[in-house]
Structure 1
């Protein structure tokens, strides 16, 4: 299922929601512990896990982009800057695991936006697979299918 894209005052929000059969603590560790984070988003690294702390994005050219942690509530909320945008993970305990919500606040839709959103969608698939002890054979193939759908979804948005 594709993310829900909503127009808001300062751009758009893109909301993903997954129900996982794992406790909040286990999913939280996937988002915040570098050894686990590296398995689903190898370019990200938590440098300082606190509000005002830093997550680094390895640009793969010897440089790093620093992203500030805007909100942190252990086992519940992790929000940080993402370029000009913001990424927010929310975890909600449920009887058979937890609900993971990822919201990206997109200030301006560009040709690159569907690529990023498809990437987040695949990342969530990979998190779920890792938690379940599965692997995704070709992330690139899964991404391509999702990317084509997100290109269409963004093209079909009402023009402001």
Structure 2
């Protein structure tokens, strides 16, 4: 994705949370994108080593060993092939729900990621990080995995910070 191709998602403030929503049209069928979100060997290609137990209440474990961050959560909502929701947190940390929605469109899949954080957390940083990981997801689907795109992250964070300041 070139600098001119970047279009940030949206951010809105709700009562005690902030919500970011990112969307991508991915030129692959929803079943392929779903496997990237849920299969351990594919999850590791674009996010981090982990596993998702595909049932409501199932365990979610994603291990960012390099940063020391471990996500240990449970599946909150599941419609196989279409919807997956879990919290981006562990233990007694505040809830940070992530909601992945996949819809078939003419060119492949519309992926919508909605992330909610407590109002005092940095939603611009979170959205920018997910912009980078979504770029990695698309590259992995194309069979050309890439390292985390730091320049995209920086550009996205600046764009999301500007949204919050407006």
Give the stretch that moved more between structures: 32-41 or 92-101.
92-101
Deviations 1:28-53 (A, max 9, x none): 000000111101111x5115221101
Which residue in 1 is equivalent to 2:84? 78
TM-score w.r.t. the length of structure 2 is 0.82
2:105 paired residue among 94, 117, 123: 94
Q: 1:7 deviation in Å? A: 2.4
Give the stretch that moved more between structures: 143-152 or 25-34.
143-152
Which residue in 1 is equivalent to 2:33? 27
1:152 counterpart = 2:162? yes
Q: Which runs of 4+ in 1 moved over 3 A?
A: 61-65, 133-138
2:119 paired residue among 86, 91, 108: 108
Which residue in 2 is equivalent to 1:46? 51
Structure 1: 5+ residue stretches without partners: none
User: 2:38–2:52: 8 Å Cα contact kept in structure 1?
Assistant: no
Q: 1:63 deviation in Å? A: 7.6
Deviations 1:71-114 (A, max 9, x none): 1111000000123210000000112211100001223242x332
User: 2:100–2:113: 8 Å Cα contact kept in structure 1?
Assistant: yes
- SS state of the match for residue 2, structure 1? coil
- SS state of the match for residue 49, structure 1? coil
TM-score w.r.t. the length of structure 1 is 0.84
RMSD over equivalenced CA pairs, Å: 2.2
Structure 2: 5+ residue stretches without partners: 1-6, 90-94
- SS state of the match for residue 133, structure 1? coil
